């Protein structure tokens, strides 16, 4: 038991209580825009100024946000659990790191800039603008290092290896609507892992999980982590 490997997928629901909205929320940043305008490569090609201003605003929001009790609990689990604890996040906000955890960012990070011409990455300034020059190739092709709809998520090979080798898989605050992340539970279960869903409400893929903890992330995640650490 003590050497069990745990993989935790986190989504927007874990950051909602830190004040960061998602594209499914009414009101807030996302509600003012269409997804195809601000979160697709085609939208960026059409209107880079709009896309940069949208992510500049999200970057400021994320910089001002603080991790909540759920982020803190996962950082505690990663620190105190004797086996490996891998956090894979769909979030781009950096709140896991602010809480002191390490996470694999499958959808990129607001803190990062990416050259669309050569693939170079560098720390994003708070304000990006169209024509931002790449520090490696000098092309005016800087864009947010965010995986947009229609693009392939990052680190999929290493994530698959973690899913196939874990004993316990947990999903925290994810809708189950965005693939490939929505398929992680089947991948982990197929490899023999016990699976737990922690979410505000049942999701589209709840039936795929062995166990469920329903409630706000800031309550159900610390309780679940305390249970795990008490089982040692």
Catalytically active residues, by annotation: 107
Q: Is 146 in the site for Zn ion (CB under 5 A)?
A: no
Is residue 125 classed as helix, strand or coil in its secondary structure? coil
With CB under 5 A as the contact rule, the residue among 118, 126, 133, 156 that binds Zn ion is 118
Nearest CB to Zn ion, comparing residues 139 and 160: 139
d(C-alpha 66, C-alpha 98), whole Å:
7
Pick from 125, 106, 120, 83: nearest CA to 180: 106
Q: Is 114 in the site for Zn ion (CB under 5 A)?
A: no
Nearest distance from residue 133's CB to Zn ion, in Å? Answer: 8
Q: Is 116 in the site for Zn ion (CB under 5 A)?
A: no
Nearest distance from residue 135's CB to Zn ion, in Å? Answer: 8
Residue located via tokens 């809480």: 99
Q: Is 133 in the site for Zn ion (CB under 5 A)?
A: no
Q: Given CA atoms 106, 112, 116, 118 in this order, what sign does their dihedral have?
A: negative
Q: Is 134 in the site for Zn ion (CB under 5 A)?
A: yes
Q: Is 137 in the site for Zn ion (CB under 5 A)?
A: yes
Q: Which DSSP helix (H) or strand (E) runs through 28? A: helix 28-31
DSSP H helical segments within 47-155, as ranges? Answer: 48-64, 69-80, 95-98
Q: Is 74 in the site for Zn ion (CB under 5 A)?
A: no
Residue located via tokens 């650490």: 229
Strand pairing class (121-123; 108-115) = antiparallel
Q: Is 113 in the site for Zn ion (CB under 5 A)?
A: no
With CB under 5 A as the contact rule, the residue among 53, 120, 165, 191 that binds Zn ion is 120
Residues that bind Zn ion (CB under 5 A): 115, 117-118, 120, 134, 136-137, 139
């Amino acid at each position: 038991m003590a050497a069990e490997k745990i993989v935790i997928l986190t989504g927007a629901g874990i950051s909602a209580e830190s004040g960061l909205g998602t594209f499914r929320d009414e009101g807030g940043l996302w509600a003012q825009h269409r997804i195809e305008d601000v979160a697709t490569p085609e939208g960026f090609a059409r209107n880079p100024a709009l896309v940069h201003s949208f992510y500049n605003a999200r970057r400021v929001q994320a910089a001002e946000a603080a991790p909540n009790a759920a982020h803190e609990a996962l950082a505690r689990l990663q620190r105190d659990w004797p086996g490996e604890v891998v956090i894979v996040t769909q979030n781009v906000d950096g709140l896991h790191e602010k809480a002191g955890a390490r996470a694999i960012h499958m959808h990129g990070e607001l803190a990062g800039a990416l050259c669309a011409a050569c693939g170079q990455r560098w720390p994003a300034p708070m304000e990006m603008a169209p024509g931002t020059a790449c520090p490696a190739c000098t092309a005016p092709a800087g864009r947010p290092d965010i995986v947009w709809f229609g693009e392939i998520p990052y680190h999929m090979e290493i994530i698959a290896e973690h899913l196939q080798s874990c004993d316990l898989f947990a999903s925290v605050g994810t809708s189950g609507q965005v693939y490939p992340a929505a398929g992680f539970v089947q991948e982990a279960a197929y490899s023999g892992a016990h699976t737990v869903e922690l979410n505000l409400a049942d999701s589209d893929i709840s039936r795929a999980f062995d166990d469920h903890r329903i409630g706000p992330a800031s309550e159900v995640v610390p309780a679940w982590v305390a249970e795990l650490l008490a089982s040692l």
